[in-house]
Amino acid sequence: MSIRLGLHRRTGPGVGARSVLAGAVVATLLFGTTAANAGPGSATRADDLDGLRGLAAKRGLLIGSAVYNPPLLGDARYRALLAREFSAVSPGNVMKWDTVEPERGMVDLTAADHMMRFASGHRQIVRGHTLVWHNQLPYWLTQKTWSDADLATILEKHVKEEAAKFRGRVYAWDVINEPFNEDGTWRETIWYKALGPGYVAKALQWAHEADPRAKLYLNDYNLEWNTAKADAMYALVSDLRERGVPVHGVGFQGHLGIQYDYPAPVIDHLRRFTGLGLDVAITEADVRMPLPVTDAKLATQADYFGRLLSACLAVRRCVSFTIWGLSDAHSWVPGVFAGQGAATPYDHDLRPKPAYAELREALRHRVAGSER
Ligand code: G3I
């Protein structure tokens, strides 16, 4: 399926005046799931209208989930939930360089294609993730010493080839992932060291040549906080826009934790970037907590999820809200933060948590402009 969305949501007077995505596409996002294609346990259309997907479509918002491992797509319960509740999917890992080119010149898109087929079959759009990053690079690349010129050539080939392979099938690409340190200095990655800061503009140009209609994003975490990193991102995208480099959006990853404050006002931080004529998106939302889970912690988590979603809803050009992992059984958090977890709106058994209800509440009722 080739979907290109003119994702320009409009806020008008009053609640609910937000227009939905480009006309006919809305129906496909809204009604992507049928009992026939979602597998056992799938919802009826009436249920869809009341779930995240149906409610988000009415607000003109794409609601996404990161899919970690395509084998999960063989699980009927996982599949049904993903199809019923989400209009967008992001590849948690399967479009990263170590997966798509495990040996030099040996391109393997099996896992990515599996996810693409699922998305296409359920009328979900795909956010491509990610073309240029310093993590999850293949061993053949990291275990050898290259000249700067070699690395420039290797990166150009990778970006152009991967973007071309998925041309017309991804709505947006996280072209550049996590380019800055917390203090706003450039992260000294393999790409920065070889090409300097110009690697960003080059990669955007290469991706644009390969897939001229894809929306091209820079994506990072902690942009929700008004930090030095957000300032650096703002300066970078301002400069890119001024120079006419193809960049269309900034992704706010949205990895929050209940042990930290909620980073209000996210609305202002999002609007700062849309003021440059860019789209914004919440690309990897989750709210982790120190374990064990308690009702009080779940309530705080629900509150954070609801506020983050309502911030996105309040900003006309915040086009999508993606949760990083379908359930607590499919989250990166426990593997990275010892003693923490339960970061998603569904528990290990795919049962909705208070955060799920709060997300629906935000989609249903919250007044545009309110983040509480
Ligand atoms: O595939 C191997 C498997 O063969 C092996 O048995 C297993 C043992 O640990 O590891 C598996 O690889 C893991 C891979 O995920 C696939 O599951 C890696 O160890 C693990 O490090 C890797 O983690 C991913 C992480 O990026 C790597 O940086 C997470 O799943 C993924 O959710 C996470 O996603 C990132 C975004 O891309 C960018 N923003 C931050 C976000 C969270 O870290």
Distance from the alpha carbon of residue 224 to the mean position of ligand 1, in angstroms: 23
- Residue 360, pLDDT > 70, answer yes
In a domain, 219, yes or no: yes
Instruction: Give the pLDDT of residue 215.
Output: 98
- Per the DSSP assignment, residues forming a β-bridge with 127 are 172
CA distance 326 to 319: 20
Token pair listed for 110: 């099996």
In a domain, 200, yes or no: yes
Residue 274: CB atoms within 10 Å: 16
What is the average pLDDT score of the chain? 89
What pLDDT band is residue 24 in, cutting at 50, 70 and 90? very low
First to last CA, the chain: 39
DSSP class of residue 198? G
Instruction: Give the pLDDT of residue 371.
Output: 58
pLDDT > 70: percent of the chain = 85
Whether 34 is in the pocket of ligand 1, judged by its Cβ within 6 Å, is no
Q: Is 284 labeled as catalytic in the residue annotation?
A: yes
Q: Is 242 labeled as catalytic in the residue annotation?
A: no
In a domain, 294, yes or no: yes
Token pair listed for 236: 């970078």
The CATH number of the domain holding residue 66 is 3.20.20.80
Whether 284 is in the pocket of ligand 1, judged by its Cβ within 6 Å, is yes
Owning domain of residue 225 = 15-364
Instruction: Give the pLDDT of residue 213.
Output: 98
Catalytic residue among 224, 284, 358, 371, which? Answer: 284
How many domains does the chain fold into? 1
In a domain, 5, yes or no: no
Instruction: Give the pLDDT of residue 15.
Output: 27
283 touches 215 (CB < 8 A) = no
Distance from the alpha carbon of residue 31 to the mean position of ligand 1, in angstroms: 32
DSSP letters for 336-365: HSTTEE--SSB-TTSPBPHHHHHHHHHHHH
DSSP class of residue 106? B
Catalytic residue among 85, 178, 224, 358, which? Answer: 178
What pLDDT band is residue 185 in, cutting at 50, 70 and 90? very high
Stretch 323-347: mean pLDDT: 97
Whether 37 is in the pocket of ligand 1, judged by its Cβ within 6 Å, is no
In a domain, 97, yes or no: yes
In a domain, 249, yes or no: yes
- Per the DSSP assignment, residues forming a β-bridge with 67 are 91
∠ CA(178), CA(83), CA(218), 5° rounding? 15
Q: Could you read off the pLDDT of 244-259 as tens digits, one per residue? A: 999 999 999 999 999 9
Stretch 76-94: mean pLDDT: 97
In a domain, 75, yes or no: yes
In a domain, 10, yes or no: no
Whether 254 is in the pocket of ligand 1, judged by its Cβ within 6 Å, is no
CA distance 216 to 153: 21
Token pair listed for 303: 């509150």
